[in-house]
């Protein structure tokens, strides 16, 4: 591993329920130096956002959780962990997918899309201590070698579908760790403005009008900002600002 700490403690498992759950257990037992990665070849109870499940064919994709202890980060700023993680996945994908052919974007809050198809999902679970983040379990599911997805996951893609070859999972994981570490060190140095710019520059639909659904209504609005807390700000044609938390709004 070509990093200072990220992925240096690597726990590789044949199978577990969920790497996020496994990592959380390890934290409880004090067994997770900064940068510990729990990587499983198969999850029996892989978890997605909003209580969804996360499915990946055995041995085909990357399903792992990275543990960090960002005690310097105040709870109001915890969304920066989503930002740096999405940016690290994006930076890693940029090494494989030439920008001339592939549009890699972050879909708020932290899905990663390639040409509008989802290639990765992120589930971050923070353990808070007072007003700081004591530990963070950053779970990532990245579609690498899986060739087909369920009918319900039609909008999914993988590196292998896009580039028509197989990838070594460990190499992809190492590349992610390298990019994550660089971004995390920037966060530690309070480079908030720089990170915000990078996030917005790569955000799907930023400054564009599109349709959204909230509280049973479908409306047209411009994605105008993401607040520091992570709230999505949509501005309607009537210049009304609407703010949404995760789960409260649907992109349609
Ligand atoms: C989503 O898009 O809904 C988030 C999916 C996150 C999946 C990853 S796979 C590794 C880690 N362990 C889990 O149980 N979930 C995350």
Cα 46 to ligand 1 centre (Å): 6
Encode the chain (252 residues) as per-residue pLDDT tens digits.
889 999 999 999 999 999 999 999 999 999 899 999 999 999 999 999 988 999 999 999 999 999 999 999 999 999 999 999 999 999 999 999 998 999 999 999 999 999 999 999 999 999 999 999 999 999 999 999 999 998 766 689 999 999 999 999 999 999 999 999 999 999 999 999 999 999 999 999 999 999 999 999 999 999 999 999 999 999 999 999 999 999 899 999
Q: Which residue among 141, 157, 251 is best mutated to probe the pocket of ligand 1, counting the most ligand atoms within 8 A of its Cβ?
A: 141
Alpha helices in the chain (DSSP H): 19-28, 79-94, 159-163, 169-188, 192-201
Q: Could you give the 3-state DSSP secondary structure of residue 239?
A: coil
Task: Kindly report whether the global pTM for this prediction surpasses the value 0.85.
Answer: yes
Residue nearest to atom 7 of ligand 1 (CA): 141
* Residue 166 backbone dihedrals phi, psi, to 5 degrees: -95, 155
Q: Are 193 and 186 in contact (CB under 8 A)?
A: no
∠ at Cα 47 (1, 95), nearest 5°?
35
Q: Which residue among 37, 43, 123, 169 is best mutated to probe the pocket of ligand 1, counting the most ligand atoms within 8 A of its Cβ?
A: 123
Cα 140 to ligand 1 centre (Å): 5
**Inter-CA distances, 56 with 59, 141, 145, 196, Å:** 8, 8, 10, 31
């Amino acid at each position: 591993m070509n990093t200072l700490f990220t992925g240096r403690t690597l726990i590789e498992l044949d199978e577990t329920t969920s790497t996020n759950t496994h990592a959380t257990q390890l934290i409880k037992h004090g067994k997770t130096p900064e940068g510990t990665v729990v990587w499983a070849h198969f999850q029996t109870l892989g978890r997605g956002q909003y209580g969804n499940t996360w499915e990946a064919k055995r041995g085909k994709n990357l399903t792992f959780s990275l543990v960090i202890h960002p005690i310097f980060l105040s709870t109001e700023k915890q969304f920066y962990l989503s930002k740096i993680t999405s940016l690290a996945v994006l930076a890693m994908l940029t090494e494989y997918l030439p920008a001339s052919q592939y549009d890699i974007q972050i879909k708020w809050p932290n899905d990663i899309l390639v040409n509008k198809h989802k290639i990765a999902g992120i589930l971050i679970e923070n353990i808070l201590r007072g007003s700081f983040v004591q530990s963070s379990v950053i779970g990532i599911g990245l579609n690498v070698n899986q060739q087909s997805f369920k009918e319900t996951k039609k909008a999914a893609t993988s590196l292998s579908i896009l580039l028509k070859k197989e990838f070594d999972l460990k190499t992809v994981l190492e590349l992610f760790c390298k990019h994550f570490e660089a971004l995390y060190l920037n966060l530690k140095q309070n480079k908030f403005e720089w990170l915000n710019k990078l996030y917005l520059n790569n955000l799907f639909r930023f400054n564009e009008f599109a349709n959204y659904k909230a509280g049973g209504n479908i409306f047209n609005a411009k994605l105008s900002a993401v607040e520091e807390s992570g709230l999505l700000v949509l501005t309607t044609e009537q210049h009304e600002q609407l703010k949404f938390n995760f789960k409260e709004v649907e992109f349609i």
